[in-house]
DNA sequence: TGTGAAACTCACGGCCG
DNA sequence: CGGCCGTGAGTTTCACA
């Protein structure tokens, strides 16, 4: 596990592109598009999954259809030495936290949050600010996406990320 | 554009959850998991695609495997009235811009950017700052992700031959 | 709407160049 | 590695309740 050095040839990249565009396309279809037999395509896909170049296949859902109409990024400023471990723990407990990361700059961490509406977001924000290691937060609410179909415009799994491949 | 009022019953939601977890699962498998015939599952999926609850099926790729090892969020402060249209145009031309959105707060827009490395990122940033309507930018570089399995996957054309190093 | 059956297509493993 | 082939499973469409 944990392969870092993976080399991908042009054929692999074409297969990847095809599967990113549509994860449900058949190996036959992809094969005749790039000039390879279905079995060969499958072998390459299996290899890429093994080496974790491909980590899963997911469905892109329009978040608003599921009732998540508010999106925001929240900078978190921590008390004293930043405790990424504690923050990760907290982030995991909130289904509204789609992504969390430590960052450079003034803030210690950045949270990507999805909520049903502004009130819901405010409630989540209040709970996060109530954590003892949080000194201050700075929120930026997303108004409109400029790139339709961008991976995280709605690509993210709905709260509670699951991943698994048959 | 699309319909807003779409009602999803518990069965639809279960199908969605299954497909988000793994977009390549068969309708048969999903069907017997939730107690429905394969044909019924397919019809529901088709309906959800029609109503754009489901906007696509994609493959989750580990960005570093494609040579994208640097990730950043850039706040963009515009000159005069914010021209979202111009910004969208610009964002579309850069493969490095994974997402772009207008936001509340001091900045006019927020860009999500992926680059091969810091130098590459700096180059992109310089080009963006060179746009006439950009007054100022504020960058935040992502250090580490705290939530594993964050489906923020950018996969298109790889940057200049970055690949299996080390 | 959900079910059942039909034909078609695909995935998967084994074997060979 | 890639191509070929056979079997079993899945997909898709249809008519029917």
- Measure in Å the smallest separation between the Cα of A131 and chain B Cα atoms: 17
Closest C-alpha to B51, from B22, B12, B10: B12
Grade residue A83 by pLDDT with cuts at 50, 70 and 90: confident
Closest C-alpha to A149, from B49, B114, B99: B99
For A33-53, how does the pLDDT look when each residue is reduced to its tens digit (9 = 90+)?
Answer: 999 999 999 999 999 999 999
| CB-based contact B61:A13 (threshold 8 Å) | no
Which residues in chain A touch residue B29, judged by CB atoms under 8 angstroms apart? 166
Please indicate whether residue B159 or residue A73 has the higher confidence score (pLDDT): A73
Residue nearest to nucleotide C12 (CA to C1'): A39
| CB-based contact B64:B114 (threshold 8 Å) | no
A149 → chain B, closest CA residue? B55
B36-49: b (≥16 Cβ within 10 Å) or e: beeeebeebbeebe
Grade residue A80 by pLDDT with cuts at 50, 70 and 90: confident
| CB-based contact B66:B118 (threshold 8 Å) | no
Share of chain A above pLDDT 90, in %: 80
Instruction: Give pLDDT, residue A163.
Output: 26
Share of chain A above pLDDT 70, in %: 86
Instruction: Give pLDDT, residue B51.
Output: 93
Regarding pTM above 0.85, the answer is yes
CB contact under 8 A, A5 and B164: yes
Q: Is residue B19 less than 8 Å (CB to CB) from chain A?
A: yes
A15 → chain B, closest CA residue? B59
Instruction: Give pLDDT, residue B150.
Output: 65
Mean pLDDT per 10-residue interval, chain B, length 166 residues: 71 96 96 94 95 96 94 94 87 96 96 98 97 96 88 36 28
For A:22-41, CB contacts with B below 8 A are 22-24
Given a cut of 80, whether residue A102 has pLDDT beyond it is: yes
Instruction: Give pLDDT, residue B4.
Output: 58
Please indicate whether residue B152 or residue A105 has the higher confidence score (pLDDT): A105
Instruction: Give pLDDT, residue A4.
Output: 60
CB nearest B142 (choices: A87, A98, A101) = A101
Backbone dihedral region for residue B157 (phi beyond 0: left; psi -120 to 50: alpha; all else: beta) = beta
| CB-based contact B73:B57 (threshold 8 Å) | no
For B:91-150, CB contacts with A below 8 A are 91-92, 97-105, 107, 109-110, 112, 138-147, 149-150
Indicate which of A67, A101, A105, A148 best probes the interface with B, i.e. most B CBs within 10 Å of its own CB: A101
CB contact under 8 A, B165 and A5: yes
Q: Compute the distance between CA of residue B135 and CA of residue B1 in angstroms, rounded to an integer.
A: 33
Q: Compute the distance between CA of residue A7 and CA of residue B25 in angstroms, rounded to an integer.
A: 28
Grade residue A115 by pLDDT with cuts at 50, 70 and 90: very high
Instruction: Give pLDDT, residue A5.
Output: 65
CB contact under 8 A, B155 and A20: yes
Mean pLDDT for the stretch of residues A77-96: 90
Closest C-alpha to A14, from A4, A40, A154: A40
Backbone angles phi, psi at B96, to 5 degrees: -75, -20
Instruction: Give pLDDT, residue B60.
Output: 96
Instruction: Give pLDDT, residue B125.
Output: 98
Residue nearest to nucleotide D3 (CA to C1'): A37
Indicate which of B19, B151, B163 best probes the interface with A, i.e. most A CBs within 10 Å of its own CB: B151
């Amino acid at each position: 596990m944990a392969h870092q050095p993976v080399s991908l040839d042009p054929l692999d990249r074409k297969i990847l592109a095809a599967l990113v565009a549509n994860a449900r396309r058949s190996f036959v279809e992809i094969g005749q598009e790039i000039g390879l037999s279905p079995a060969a395509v499958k072998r390459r896909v299996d290899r890429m999954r093994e080496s974790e170049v491909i980590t899963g296949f997911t469905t892109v859902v329009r978040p608003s259809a599921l009732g998540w109409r508010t999106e925001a990024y929240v900078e978190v400023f921590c008390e004293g030495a930043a405790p990424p471990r504690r923050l990760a723990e907290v982030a995991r407990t909130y289904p509204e936290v789609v992504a969390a990361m430590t960052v450079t700059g003034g803030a210690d961490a950045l949270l990507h949050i999805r909520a049903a509406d502004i009130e819901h977001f405010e409630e989540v924000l209040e709970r996060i600010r109530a954590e003892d290691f949080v000194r201050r937060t700075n929120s930026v609410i997303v108004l409109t996406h400029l790139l339709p179909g961008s991976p995280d415009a709605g690509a993210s799994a709905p709260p509670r990320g699951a991943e698994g491949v048959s």
